Amino acid sequence: MAFQVTTAVRKMLALGGTKKVIQGSTSSGKTYGIIPILIDKCLTRARLKCTVVAETFPALKDGAIDIFKNFMADEGRWSDSQWNGTDFQYTFKNGSKLQFKSFDSVGKAKASGKRDILFINEANHVDWAIADALIIRSNEVWLDFNADMEFWAHTEILTQPDATFLKLTYLDNEGIPDAVLSNLMQRKEKAEAEERSGVLGYWWNWWQVYGLGEIGRLQEAVYPRWEVVDEKPERFTRFIYGLDFGFQHPSALTRVWFWEDELFVEEVIYESGLTSSQLIQRMKSKGVETSIEIMCDYARPEMINDLADAGFYVLNADKSVEKGINFINEMRVLVHKDSVNIQRENRLYKRKTINGQITEHIDKKNDDAMDAIRYAGAEIKEIHYSGATYSSF
């Protein structure tokens, strides 16, 4: 597919300043526009060093690297011989290099050296100390993000005289797929319904950030109150398990059913003080299938090994907190009436408040079943909702 020069791309090309801060909605074409702009800079200037950074390497692979490879292939520019799959770096014929990196410490960020251009993708997920160590060693800086809350780009970068700001929305992206636009409009309707009711809840806040590109506000309750039902609706026919290990805290095993934009959750085990052998015994007595995925907290590898030796299909969970929470919040969630611990945690699962301000950090007091549900939800999103409806967000 040929690259489309959208309104978003034209606006980004017109930005001045050495630090370009691009805040926007989902599907506004931020990253899809910045990557080609960086490629063009590499092609037109010899020996340019350009670094693309994200919070984690999986985030890079699923986002910026995928966009880069697809664009280069679509434009007939890709050459396997110029791609270093070990260092994740592409060397252009004029000697310019485009590299993809993530950093988990300030020291590693400093050790990466100087560069001509830095692009921090989803900058709100990158720690300020790491970002600062990279920015100070870069001649030109690009940042993009969905502003679910104010962060260092607003307080540290936009206060500098060489910074410029651009806000984009999906309306700036003429290339938005019809299916994605249709899904956005459904979410807009939910936000408008909340506004009409006078309750500015999850969907209203979601639309402010991901529809309008505005700065959102964190809400103390992580999830809305889920609907309690007497029985599992017949439409739910597929499920996986989520398992959060504990000892003083409960070990929580949850069964998470999924159907279209709905989840049905129920607790299977919720008990403190369980050893591996006791947990295995409980799972067998509850009829936990050995053929169904159990997404586990990988902080306890010895427990996972014991469960695997007992024949259970255990896998390391994706523990990305916000990604899992966002997916679950996009779904309608039903809870079995007998799952009293899930219901209790659902009510009490909140973000920490410090000096009267709600922070992005989760209070860890009531999170055992919530973590287990999130582990299952992350796998459901990855495997079963990888189409345009969800992957675009």
Question: pLDDT tens digits for 122-158?
Answer: 999 899 999 999 999 999 999 999 998 889 999 999 9
Distance CA(87)–CA(317), nearest Å, equals: 26
Selection from 2-6, 59-63, 80-84 with the highest mean pLDDT:
80-84
Q: What 3-state class would DSSP assign to 140?
A: strand
67 three-state secondary structure = helix
- Look at 143-147, 325-329, 351-355, 378-382 and tell me which has the smallest mean pLDDT: 351-355
Beta-carbon contacts of 109 under 8 Å, excluding residues fewer than 6 positions away, are: 103, 130, 133, 134
Q: Tell me whether strands 351-354 and 357-362 are parallel, antiparallel or unpaired.
A: antiparallel
Distance CA 131, CA 153 (A): 10
Distances (CA, A) of 286 to 172, 213, 267, 283: 53, 47, 11, 5
The pLDDT of residue 355 is: 75
Report yes or no: 388 and 179 within 8 Å, Cβ to Cβ.
yes
Q: Do 124 and 61 form a contact (C-beta atoms < 8 A)?
A: no
| Residue 370 clears pLDDT 80, i.e. is over it | yes
Identity of the amino acid at 304: I
State how far the alpha carbon of 47 is from the alpha carbons of 9, 44, 140, in Å.
Answer: 24, 10, 15
pLDDT at position 357, please? 72
**Cα 234 to Cα 254, 264, 265, 337, 374, distances in angstroms:** 19, 11, 14, 16, 23
How far separated are the first and last CA of the chain, in Å rounded? 21
Interhelix angle 321-330/368-384, nearest 10 degrees: 80
Please give the backbone phi and psi of residue 29, each rounded to the nearest 5 degrees, phi first. Answer: 85, 25
Helix (H) / strand (E) element for 266: namely strand 262-271
CA dihedral 276, 282, 287, 290 (to 10 degrees): 0
Q: Which two tokens stand for residue 159?
A: 């206060």
Looking at 96-226, list the stretches that DSSP marks H as alpha helix, in order from N- to C-terminal side: 106-111, 128-135, 152, 178-197, 202-206
Starting at the edge strand that comes first in sequence, how are the strands of the sheet with 262-271 ordered?
227-229, 332-336, 262-271, 251-259, 238-244, 294-296, 314-316
Q: Cβ(41)–Cβ(48) under 8 Å? A: yes
Identity of the residue numbered 125: H
**Of 349, 311, 312, 357, whose CA–CA distance to 329 is shortest?**
349
Q: How far apart are CA 191 and CA 175, in angstroms?
A: 24
**Cα 8 to the chain's mean position, in Å?**
22
Read off the pLDDT band of 1 (50, 70, 90).
low
The whole-chain average pLDDT of the chain stands at 93
Distance, CA of 88 to CA of 372 (rounded, Å): 33
pLDDT: is 307 or 4 the higher one? 307
The pLDDT value given to residue 386: 54
